[in-house]
Amino acid sequence: MLEKLKSILPFDDKQWNQYASYFKRIQVPAKKVLIQEGEISKKAFFIEKGCIRVWFNKDGKDVTFQFFFENERVSSVESFKKNIPSIVTLETIEPSTLWVIDKQDMDQIMRDGFEIPKVREKLIDTLFDRNIHYMKHCLSFIRDTPQQRYLHLLETQPQIIQRIPQHYIASYLGITTVHLSRVKSKLLKGK
Amino acid sequence: MLEKLKSILPFDDKQWNQYASYFKRIQVPAKKVLIQEGEISKKAFFIEKGCIRVWFNKDGKDVTFQFFFENERVSSVESFKKNIPSIVTLETIEPSTLWVIDKQDMDQIMRDGFEIPKVREKLIDTLFDRNIHYMKHCLSFIRDTPQQRYLHLLETQPQIIQRIPQHYIASYLGITTVHLSRVKSKLLKGK
DNA sequence: TGAATTTGATAACATATGTTATCGCTTGCC
DNA sequence: GGCAAGCGATAACATATGTTATCAAATTCA
């Protein structure tokens, strides 16, 4: 099951023997908070099964920022990297199977990884990709209407539409559940 | 004038002697397009004097995505890094003095830089910082009203309000010029 | 200097989106 | 089985924001 992790961090087998023990497999129920907003994150997660929602607080309401699924890594990046309080909460949506690693161990892996050209390339690529992803996400809020964002989601990440309760999707799109309903019904009626 | 660049890329003096010649100083007028949307970017810029606007096309209208000022580096990141067509246009707003470097040379510097722990740290930090910046920028579109975004801009980047024509600011905030006028006048009238 | 362009304010109206409330359908749980 | 909670649709109304048009001031440039 760490196969996917190996493709993300392409160390050789010898090194993986050392690192494998850093990761612990845990089972968590739905709606379990993994990292709380305001807390300094000391852990990172890799999802074997299930999904995780990243959200933040807006006047008492929770607003979804991102979803993560199988074979993805999740952490409160800025908190994890910089030892500052997290601006987001990480919470499971479904009962999930996760691999968890402590910051200390992860830092070790990162330090080692940046010494090895192949791993380094991969890590840098990942950072750039994340950058591009956030950039495009921003851009879609400036450029596209909620309806366009919904359609785009349908095309590019149908599993979100299928697996995630609609009120989470609505806040992810930056609108209310009521308006998402309207958008969907407008689309059904042939636009 | 490369002093600022040295703090961003903390090589030792010997190496800088080699790299300094990679950068060329150019003077460009206002409204000069540096990189065109759709074009594969082969250059990166460092601003000595002036400012640059990053924008993209929305149904024929231009929508501003970011502003850059003195001592900042600008490039079409994803295009520059991945050799793909740029999704944004880079254009000066004021007459500017820039330092320009070719992709090939920049790649060389990056390759060398990642071998040197001190420089590597700085580069990775920069990537994370950019990530956090985009994340927060996204977040402000989901969480805040245009008025809140305007006030936030006033607090954190007053030079944008002062130096940049209002219609660029409006599209940067994701609203029309008409609405920005409304927001400002509402704020003047004591909210 | 004077004409053309850019910039910003405002009004009137149109559309998009939020708010609150209600209803019915599902789901989980005792 | 039945109740409570969660979820999604819809309606009516309120507010925010966009669109188009007009005007005045500032700026640019020949």
Higher pLDDT, A78 or B1: A78
pLDDT tens for A96-130 read 899 999 999 999 999 999 999 999 999 999 999 99
- pLDDT of B76 over the 60 cut: yes
Q: Verify whether the Cβ–Cβ distance B130 to A132 is below 8 Å.
A: no
Taking 80 as the threshold, does the pLDDT of residue B60 lie above it?
no
Q: Which of the four pLDDT bands, split at 50, 70 and 90, describes residue B191?
A: very low
Same domain, A132 and A187: no
Residue A159 shares a structural domain with residue A138: no
Q: Are B150 and B180 in contact (CB under 8 A)?
A: yes
Return the structure tokens found at A64. Answer: 């979804």
Looking at the structure, tell me whether residues B45 and B126 fall in a common domain.
yes
Residue B178 CB lies within 7 Å of the nucleic strand C: yes
Q: Are B19 and B105 part of one and the same domain?
A: yes
Give me the CATH number covering residue B101: 2.60.120.10
Predicted local distance difference test score (pLDDT) of residue B190: 57
Question: Do residue B65 and residue B100 come from a single domain?
Answer: yes
pLDDT, tens digit (0-9, with 9 covering 90-100), for B98-109: 999 999 999 999
| A-proximal residues of B, 47-76, CB under 8 Å | 56, 58, 63, 65
Regarding whether A175 and A117 lie in a shared domain, the answer is: no
Domain of B179 in residue numbering reads as 144-191
Q: What is the pLDDT of residue B105?
A: 95
pLDDT confidence of residue A190? 56
Nearest nt to the CA of A165 via C1' is: D7
pLDDT one-digit tens code per residue, A142-185: 889 999 999 999 999 998 998 899 999 999 999 999 999 999 99
Number of structural domains in chain B: 2
Q: What is the mean pLDDT of chain A?
A: 90
pLDDT in tens, B155-170: 999 989 989 999 999 9
- Measure the CA–CA gap between B173 and B182, rounded to whole angstroms: 13
Q: Which of A160-164, B126-130, B178-182 has the highest mean pLDDT?
A: B178-182
Residues A85 and A29 in one domain: yes
Q: By CB neighbour count within 10 A (0-12 exposed, 13-18 middle, 19+ buried), where does B26 fall?
A: middle
Tally: H helices and E strands in chain B: 9, 8
Residue of A135, A168, A172 to mutate, testing the B interface (most B Cβ within 10 Å of its Cβ):
A135
Angstrom distance (rounded) from CA B80 to CA A122: 17
- Residues 140-179 of A, Cβ under 7 A from nucleic strand D: 165-167, 177-178
The per-residue pLDDT for B69 is 93
pLDDT for B4 equals 84
**What pLDDT sits at residue B1?**
61
Measured CA to C1', the nucleotide nearest A93 is D6
pLDDT in tens, A47-70: 998 999 999 888 777 889 999 999
Asked if B45 and B90 count as a contact pair (C-beta separation under 8 A), the reply is yes
Indicate yes or no: strand C within 7 A of the C-beta of A178. yes
- Which residue among A142, A162, A181 closes a domain? A142
